Amino acid sequence: MPAEKRFATKYAVNDRGCWVWNAQSSKFRSCSFWFRKERMTAYRASYIMHKGEIPSGYVVRHKCDDPACVNPEHLELGTQKDNCADKVLRNRCNAKAGSAHSNTSLTEKDVLDMRASADSMKTLAAHYGVHYMTVYDIMKRRTWKHI
Ligand SMILES: [Zn+2]
Query: What's 36-64 look like in SS3?
Result: CCEEEEHHHHHHHHHHCCCCCCEEEEECC
Judgement on whether residues 58 and 105 belong to the same structural domain of the protein? no
91 CA to middle of ligand 1, Å? 17
18 CA to middle of ligand 1, Å? 4
Query: Domain boundary at 48, 66, 89, which?
Result: 89
- Helix ranges restricted to H, 79-145: 83-93, 108-116, 121-128, 132-139
Residue 88 has pLDDT above 80, yes or no: no
**Domain interval for residue 45:** 3-89
Of 110 and 22, the one with more pLDDT: 110
64 CA to middle of ligand 1, Å? 5
60 CA to middle of ligand 1, Å? 13
88 CA to middle of ligand 1, Å? 16
For 37-59, write each residue's pLDDT tens digit: 888 889 999 999 999 999 988 88
Judgement on whether residues 83 and 108 belong to the same structural domain of the protein? no
| DSSP code at position 95 | S
Residue 71 has pLDDT above 90, yes or no: yes
Residue 83 lies in a domain: yes
80 CA to middle of ligand 1, Å? 21
Residue 44, domain CATH: 3.90.75
123 CA to middle of ligand 1, Å? 32
Judgement on whether residues 9 and 58 belong to the same structural domain of the protein? yes
Judgement on whether residues 110 and 46 belong to the same structural domain of the protein? no
Domain count, the chain: 2
Average pLDDT, the chain: 80
Residue 101 has pLDDT above 70, yes or no: no
pLDDT for the residue numbered 87: 58
pLDDT for the residue numbered 89: 58
pLDDT for the residue numbered 24: 54
Residue 17 has pLDDT above 90, yes or no: yes
65 CA to middle of ligand 1, Å? 7
The pLDDT confidence band at residue 115, using thresholds 50, 70 and 90, is: very high
